[in-house]
Amino acid sequence: MEGRNVLLVTGANGYIGQGVVKQLLDDGSKVIAVDFAADHVDSRAVVYQADLFSVEDPLKEFTYYGIQAEKVLHLAWRDGFVHSALSHIEDIPRHYMFLKRVVDGGVKHLSVMGSMHEVGFWEGSIKEDTPTNPQSLYGIGKDTLRKCVQLLAEENALIYQWIRGYYIVGNTEFGSSIFSKITVAEKRGDKEFPFTKGQNQWDFIDYDEFCRQVAAIVEQDEINGVINACSGIPQKLCDRVEQFIRDNRYHIRLAYGKFPDRPYDSKAVWGDNRKIHKIMEKYHADNE
């Protein structure tokens, strides 16, 4: 099947990377996993602990038992949940030069993790051609890299996939999302979790399903460009978090109104799921 390719995955030890690497391996892909650390990377992958920005020829440095990667999935990103971190701007040329090096090395299929925060304040469904006006350094960093990579793809006739992520729901304590923070607080024995009013409606997707979507996107090459990895359904933040607490049988309770909403957070926003729906239909058919 198409998934049985050699893929180089950066940021493999991160919150998203751990699950995506596992899903790719489960699908039969051969994975080269690269990150600063490797303590949470699936042992079936070929793992390299390295600073990928310092490597001059990544395809020759990071191989699958001597075989070079056919595809690159770039998940690496620092401080994703600290939207004001200067690293989002400082690292842009480093990300771009890494991706240019793999393209110069011969890779023709490039997939990069984006974010709905590229769009900025928006009401309604986000489509692939929705105008972007990011309101945070994180969003600006992602949007700038997207534009640079799009030019790189056009100049080199690449299969190019910009995977635009939304709000991931998972109960691991290793992430930095609100769900991970609630899990940490629960395990610590906290009785309450300080919260906003929770009235904003966002696109939530369970962690395992998100990882399946990312794997499915990368494993095919017919549907490309900007692709929303999403549920396509808006849901109130308070409702989704309360459901998360119930599903995990946590005892912690939300302390509403302790924090204000961020001024750049949309009141109701979700991803257009038509592209990912087509991809997942084929993915499930291929894996039956």
Whole-angstrom distance, CA of residue 51 vs CA of residue 258: 39
Mean pLDDT of 37-64: 96
Whole-angstrom distance, CA of residue 144 vs CA of residue 277: 27
Note the pLDDT of residue 4. 64
**Contact status, residue 83 vs residue 117, Cβ threshold 8 Å:** yes
Mean pLDDT of 269-278: 97
Whether 240 shows a pLDDT value over 50: the answer reads yes
Whole-angstrom distance, CA of residue 59 vs CA of residue 66: 10
Lowest mean pLDDT among 26-40, 147-161, 236-250, 259-273: 259-273
62-77 pLDDT, tens digit per residue, is: 999 999 999 999 999 9
Whether 270 shows a pLDDT value over 60: the answer reads yes
Whole-angstrom distance, CA of residue 207 vs CA of residue 19: 8
Whole-angstrom distance, CA of residue 110 vs CA of residue 75: 11
Q: Where are the domains of the chain?
A: 6-166+205-230+272-286
Calculate what percentage of the chain has a pLDDT beyond 70: 98
131-183 pLDDT, tens digit per residue, is: 999 999 999 999 999 999 999 999 999 999 999 999 999 877 766 788 989 99
Which CATH code for domain 6-166+205-230+272-286?
A: 3.40.50.720
74-121 pLDDT, tens digit per residue, is: 999 999 889 999 999 999 999 999 999 999 999 999 999 999 999 999
Query: How many C-beta neighbours within 10 Å does residue 60 have?
Result: 10
Catalogue the active-site residues: 138
Note the pLDDT of residue 153. 97
Whether 2 shows a pLDDT value over 70: the answer reads no
Whole-angstrom distance, CA of residue 246 vs CA of residue 262: 26
Residues 242-258 as b or e (16 or more Cβ within 10 Å = b) = eebbeeeebebebeeee
Calculate what percentage of the chain has a pLDDT beyond 90: 90
Grouping H, G, I as helix, E, B as strand and the rest as coil, residue 55 is: coil
Whole-angstrom distance, CA of residue 121 vs CA of residue 131: 10
Is the model more confident about 234 or about 170? Answer: 234
**Contact status, residue 204 vs residue 214, Cβ threshold 8 Å:** no
pLDDT band of 5, cuts 50, 70, 90: confident
pLDDT band of 52, cuts 50, 70, 90: very high
Contacts of 26 (CB under 8 A, 6+ apart): none
State both tokens at 233.
């359904």
Q: In the Cβ-directed half-sphere of 75, how many Cα atoms lie within 13 Å?
A: 26
DSSP structure class, residue 120: B
Rg (CA), the chain: 19
**Contact status, residue 96 vs residue 133, Cβ threshold 8 Å:** no
